[in-house]
Amino acid sequence: MKRFLIFFLTMMFATQLFAHIGDNEQAIEELCGKPIKTGSPDKRGVTTNKYQAGNYLVLVQFFKHLSIAESYTRVDQRDFSEEELTGFLEGRNYSSHAWIKDPNNLEWERIDHHAHAWVRTVGGQPTFLIEVK
């Protein structure tokens, strides 16, 4: 029962935290809190902010103040569960869009082909990434 409760709470948090591609900086801040590190625009005008929300470190890239890419790593550095990844992909902004999973990899393509998500090890940590195309 305790494991189920922890899983349930993690999934609720993940679906509320995740899938906000296209949101502005204020909306991201409402979900993740104030950034722990705010970046400066690069030569393309993209700014990267770092947040800590619950058990996740979140990097969000903004272009013209809208989220265009996000990455999530677990603070405890554990692998993501299949259920956790599903919860991320079914977050509130993408509930109307289905995802197609690559049968051979931890990669997904949104059915409208406007977003891509994948899991990679970055700096020795499992990282879930999503970006608009």
pLDDT, one tens digit per residue, over 48-107 is 999 998 889 999 999 999 999 999 999 999 999 988 888 878 764 544 678 899 999 999
pLDDT, one tens digit per residue, over 94-125 is 446 788 999 999 999 999 898 999 999 999 99
Residue ranges per domain, the chain? 2-132
Tell me, what's the pLDDT at 10?
A: 40
Contacts of 32 by beta carbon, 8 Å cutoff, 6+ apart: 17, 51, 52, 53, 58, 60
Contacts of 80 by beta carbon, 8 Å cutoff, 6+ apart: 74, 88, 119, 126, 128
